[in-house]
Chains A and B, each alone.
Chain A
Amino acid sequence: MIVLRRFYNKLAAGTIPTLSGAGSGVTVYEQKEQTPPLLMIQKQTTGALLVGPGLTKILPFPQGYDGTTRLSAVIRVDNSVRFSILNSNAAASNVLIKGTKTQAGRFAFVDFLNSIAVHNPTSSSATVQYTLFEIPDLTLDTSFYGLVPASITPTASGGTNFVATSRIFAGSVRLDYTSSPVTNGAWTQLFASVGLAISHIEVFDSSGIAMEIGIGTAGSESRILLVPPGGIGVDETIAANSRISVRAVGGSIADVGELDMNLFS
């Protein structure tokens, strides 16, 4: 049986031979467990600590582990030590783990963990070897190798650079200077709040004087763009939800013509 087990342990997935002759009738009951999907492990650490007599040390967690996911801990010791574990969802846990130089002590578990401390109460040093790895969401196929369906069909010519070829319209405004004159004093609001982050502005202005576009709350506007008579279209970055206003610069008042503005994200 042991020989068979050794043989089957070496087999690749799915290659179950037909048993015959002297080996027939033997149930290789662990075969199913030899061909599981492999887990994708994102955070892992392995190491060893030498804990002197009477000392306490903390096992280092994998980089980036924050206790909000389950961590699998596999620990091997060659002496009797006491583990003190803080879980995120349970009381403090304390237990002695016994091992010797010839017969190692083992401690393996899975939990949401805040800390693992190991204390050596004996009069001789203890070696603590550990492997800690994060358990991904086991309900997702993407947490396993080989279970991810092809969701994107590659094309022969590669992808499309959508950033450089198109812009998304994000809003517009028209201001008639005849009915709503704009002075060089207070700013006149154009947008109370633009929803999207803006990357491009187009402005048409027929007032005949230079105007300025500003962002900021009422009374705290600051210029981001000087609009020459006629208008301008430029790449300009404006944060989402900004307030946009206009004010006259080239004269005391713009009271003829109109302003048209298109925003693109």
Chain B
Amino acid sequence: MSAWTMFTNALLHVFEDKTIDAEHSSATLAVMNNDDRDDTLYFETDSFLLDQNEARDLALPNFSEAEWIYITLKVNGEVEVQVLSLDFDNVSPLRSYTKAFGDSRFPGFLQISTYNVLSIVLVGVAANSSIESYASVICPPTDGRLLTN
């Protein structure tokens, strides 16, 4: 199994392509690679370094709490994504600490699609962690803003 190829294909697909490649054996990732719909309203890509314990807010254009957020990170080093959000009841607070770890030979990937988000902070776990980020606001295909944006 080529975990790299699976991730890379999934990542390439997420960024811009709809190519379906068969170089994977994992059903989840196979299906993920075949997901052919990401209706994106806004997105932002960035590349930066984080030192150990250095924090960086992730700010999205036209972001609001009600939006559907989709984030992908590619990491050389180790970082933690801290998300403060609200639960399904729209009242109870939720906190999550999600990590990505990797190196130049096998980068770490982090994907998260969530909503009810109040804030997102990236924190370096390992010193000099290199991060490529793709953060977007996505929507259902029926969202009228897809035509007006």
Given contacts A9-B21, A129-B31, A131-B28, contact A109 B68 (CB under 8 A): no
CA distance A62 to B27 in the complex (A): 15
Chain A residues with CB under 8 Å of B100's CB are 109-110
A46: which B residues are within 8 A, CB to CB?
26-28
CB within 8 A of A98: which of B16, B37, B68?
B68
Report whether B1 and A41 are in contact in the complex, using a CB–CB cutoff of 8 Å: yes
B30-87 residues with Cβ-Cβ distance < 8 A to A are 31-32, 35, 37-39, 68, 70, 80, 83, 85, 87
Complex: how many Å from CA A133 to CA B3?
9
Name A38's closest neighbour in chain B (CB-CB): B2
Instruction: For chain B, give the interface size range.
Output: 35 or more
Interface residues of A in 39-69 (CB under 8 A from B): 39, 41, 44, 46-48
Residue A103 is within 8 A (CB to CB) of chain B in the complex: yes
Contact A111/B101 with A38-B2, A82-B88, A121-B88 known, Cβ cut-off 8 Å: yes
Tell whether, in the assembled complex, residue B19 and residue A109 are in contact, meaning their CB atoms are under 8 Å apart.
no
B134 adjacent to chain A (CB < 8 Å): no
Please indicate the chain A residues that have their CB under 8 angstroms from the CB of B140 in the complex: 100, 102-103
Q: In the assembled complex, which residues on chain B have CB atoms less than 8 Å from the CB atom of A76? A: 28, 31-32, 35
If the complex has contacts A98-B68, A108-B111, A111-B99, are A2 and B16 also in contact, measured as CB distance less than 8 A? Answer: yes
For the complex formed, measure the closest distance between the CB of A50 and the CB atoms of chain B, giving whole angstroms: 14
Whether the Cβ atoms of A107 and B27 lie closer than 8 Å is no
A98-128 residues with Cβ-Cβ distance < 8 A to B are 98-100, 102-111, 121-122
How would you classify the secondary structure of chain B's contact residues: helix, strand, loop or mixed?
A: mixed
Q: Once the chains bind, are A38 and B68 in contact (CB under 8 Å)?
A: no
Selected contact of A111 from candidates B17, B95, B98, CB within 8 Å: B98
A39 lies within 8 A of B106 (CB): yes
By a CB distance below 8 angstroms, the chain B residues around A109 are 98-100, 110-112
A246 an interface residue at 8 Å Cβ cutoff?
A: no
Closest to B100 in A: A110
Interface majority SS on A: helix, strand, loop or mixed?
strand
A80-B105 CB under 8 A given contacts A2-B16, A30-B12: no
Q: Is the CB of B28 within 8 A of A96?
A: no
Measured in the bound complex, the distance between the Cα atoms of B68 and A133 in whole Å is: 28
Stretch of A87-95, A162-170, A236-244 that contacts chain B: A87-95
Task: Identify which of B9, B28, B29 gathers the most chain A CB atoms within 10 Å of its CB.
Answer: B28
Q: Are B19 and A104 in contact (CB under 8 A)?
A: no
A233 at the interface (CB under 8 A from B): no
Residues of A with C-beta under 8 A to B116:
96
B96 touches which one: A5, A37, A48, A95 (CB < 8 A)? A95
Interface residues of A (CB under 8 A from B): 2, 5-6, 9-10, 30, 33-34, 36-39, 41, 44, 46-48, 70, 72, 74-76, 80, 82-83, 85, 87, 90-91, 93-100, 102-111, 121-122, 129-131, 133, 135, 138-139, 144
List, sorted by A's number, 29 A–B pairs whose CB atoms are closer than 8 Å. Answer: A2-B19, A5-B17, A6-B19, A36-B106, A39-B4, A80-B88, A87-B99, A90-B97, A93-B95, A93-B97, A94-B94, A96-B88, A96-B94, A96-B115, A96-B116, A98-B115, A99-B113, A102-B37, A103-B141, A104-B35, A105-B113, A105-B114, A109-B111, A110-B102, A110-B108, A111-B98, A121-B88, A129-B28, A129-B31
